[in-house]
Amino acid sequence: MLLDRLKAYPQIGRIFVQIERYRTLGKNSLWVFAAQLLIWSGGFLLSVIYAHYLPKDSLGTLQFVFGIMGVLSLASLPGFGTAIIQSTARGHRGTFRRGVKLSFICSVVVAFGLLVAGGWYYLAREDATLAYMFVAAGCVFPFYTGLTLWRSDATGLRRYSLLVLVNGVTIFISTSTAFVFLYMGYRDVPILFLISTLTISICNIVMSVLALREVPPDAEPEPGSVKYGVSTTLYSAVNNVGNHADSILLFTFLSPEAVAVYYIANRIPELFKDFFQQLRNVLIPELAKKSRLTLALKRKLNLLSLALFVFSLCIIAVLPFAFRVIYPEGYANSVIYCQLIMLSVAFANFTIIQKSFIEARLDRISIRNITLISSSCRLVLSVVLVPFYGIAGAVGSTIVYRLIAFGYVNYLVRRAAARDEG
């Protein structure tokens, strides 16, 4: 055929190889975006349903329990996710089998703590709602958080379409069930909590069993992968606690209603922040081929960051109108907090894009320092500000920690550029 004859020429053949490489990269990136888009859409849609049909105190209580589970999810060793993706891609699926075993065992231990907390709330605090929710959390925790590593295994195998399908089915079932439950007038928060977690838990059980059946029982993990998974989890501990500290502190020092207002204010900024972070995942493979941070490359990264910054400012401008359309009037006071958090996301775009170059270089020390410094500052600021200033303190800690991360990452990139020029 004519196409085969053209490929026989070295110069033309290299062009076809490049086209195929970028076509595959683009296809994979679209699948990753599609999988994430379903997760974002489901979370955002649930926030709208909750805002319209659930009282603020119930929504705040629900998010408080999810915040506790988020902090305790460290027991599921989430750092194994990256190790499993890399090991599975290199044919070492034994890392996945070992990671699932350790994650599930640690999650079972933490689940007993949640059951004890449920008993304490029932006997000492006489709070039946929180008691039942913590008991429910203890029952589903090993499956809800301890069996999530199948996603990393599927990513390492490039089964992106499977992730899209599973995400779509679970989100549709959980979201539609929650909507029907609330639309019919039921406001039982523990039952709503089970609806939100049982679908994902059952999905994790089924997918983990199917994935483990493909891995030989005697498969050994890739050397060094277990140590890397554990150490990465430890590095991310402060960041994980910081991500959920505001909700826990607001519930403890203010009220469930304050948690609800902050939760709604955070939805749209978090949606766009996660979207921008996916751009980083697309950039890293391309930046990994660059041995130096040239002036031209730095300009391209700055232009991309500036474009995202301007886009974020446009989102801030339309937020008041969007809130009036999407959320009920009871959350009107969330608008200003949402705009301020979105402004912090606008600055975070520079951090996300520039950090992608550091990650592409596999500079683990710098990545560790970025995570520890910025997350520690956020956690300290939240502990200091939230008890005295409430939601404003939580928003302030978010803005300051992202500005600190922006400054530190900018310093690291400038240092790398100076080293490359030298």
What are the extents of the domains in the chain? Answer: 35-235, 255-422
Cβ-Cβ contacts under 8 Å for 317 (sequence gap 6 or more): none
Tell me the longest C-alpha to C-alpha distance in the chain.
81
Cβ-Cβ contacts under 8 Å for 324 (sequence gap 6 or more): 332
pLDDT of residue 216: 86
Cβ-Cβ contacts under 8 Å for 62 (sequence gap 6 or more): 50, 54, 133, 189, 192, 193, 196
Q: Which whole-number Å values give the CA distances from 141 to 114, 189, 229, 292, in the listed order?
A: 9, 17, 20, 45
Q: What is the Cα gyration radius of the chain? A: 23
Q: What is the pTM of this model?
A: 0.81
Write the DSSP assignment of 84-99 as a string of letters: HHHHHHTT-THHHHHH
Q: Count of alpha carbons within 13 Å of 412, Cβ hemisphere only?
A: 25
Asked if 164 and 34 count as a contact pair (C-beta separation under 8 A), the reply is: yes
CA-to-CA distance for 267 and 42, rounded, in angstroms? 11
Q: Which whole-number Å values give the CA distances from 169 to 31, 268, 337, in the listed order?
A: 16, 23, 33
CB atoms within 10 A of CB 6: 12
The vertex-130 CA angle with 125 and 131, nearest 5°, equals: 70
Ranges of residues in the chain with a pLDDT under 70 are: 1-40, 278-298, 355-364, 416-422
Q: Which whole-number Å values give the CA distances from 261 to 256, 330, 332, in the listed order?
A: 9, 9, 9
CA-to-CA distance for 102 and 227, rounded, in angstroms? 12
Asked if 353 and 283 count as a contact pair (C-beta separation under 8 A), the reply is: yes
Write the DSSP assignment of 14-32 as a string of letters: HHHHHHHHHHHHHHHHHHH
CB atoms within 10 A of CB 304: 18
Asked if 137 and 68 count as a contact pair (C-beta separation under 8 A), the reply is: yes
pLDDT of residue 281: 55
